[in-house]
Amino acid sequence: MAGIEYAQGRLDAEKELTTLQARWYLRCGPKSGYARWYATASTNTPTPLVTAITASVSDPAPLPRWKDQMLRGLRENAQLVPATQPPPPVPTPLDVRRAAPRRAPALTTRSVPRWSTTTTPSAALPARRSGPRR
């Protein structure tokens, strides 16, 4: 249901860009009737681009389509297979680590001074009385 035509010889550059008379002509659709999809490429189109388009158009891998949105003529020529969801991917070790619940840090003992028996140099000492004690 896909085809490509390659025109040889000299081509008019203006006609290549404005008409279907181009160096490359790609078409898709049933052989009978008109093309359902087509693309043209001029002489100056890079060959790797034409190769990539051709490869994607002729790739036999199935494409997702809504059955009700296909034209009847195409629906009759297509192989319709119900789509199923792929299985979920297997988690990687990093996924498992990220999903693991965060544990609270373990309680550790620390030495925290509650009072001190030393005085700092800036602390004012009480004045002593001179005289006998009672």
Residue 34: domain span: 2-77
Dihedral angle at the C-alpha atoms of 39, 21, 25, 10, nearest 10 degrees? -130
Residue 120 inside a domain? The answer is no
Q: Indicate whether 83 belongs to any domain.
A: no
Of residues 104 and 72, which shows the higher confidence score? 72
- Determine, yes or no, domain membership for 98: no
Domain count, the chain: 1
Burial 48-63 (b: 16+ CB within 10 A, else e): eebeebbeebeeeeee
Q: Is the pLDDT of residue 44 over 70?
A: yes
Is 24 among the domain residues?
Answer: yes
| 44-72 average pLDDT score | 84
Average of per-residue pLDDT across 114-126:
61
Could you tell me the pLDDT band of residue 71, with boundaries at 50, 70 and 90? confident
In a domain, 112, yes or no: no
**CA-based nearest residue to 42, from 19, 20, 24:** 24
pLDDT in tens, 76-95: 777 777 778 888 889 999 98
> How many Å apart are CA 102 and CA 110, to the nearest integer?
23
Domain-located, residue 10: yes
Residue 36 belongs to some domain of the structure: yes
Give pLDDT, residue 115: 67
Quick check: is 44 in a domain? yes
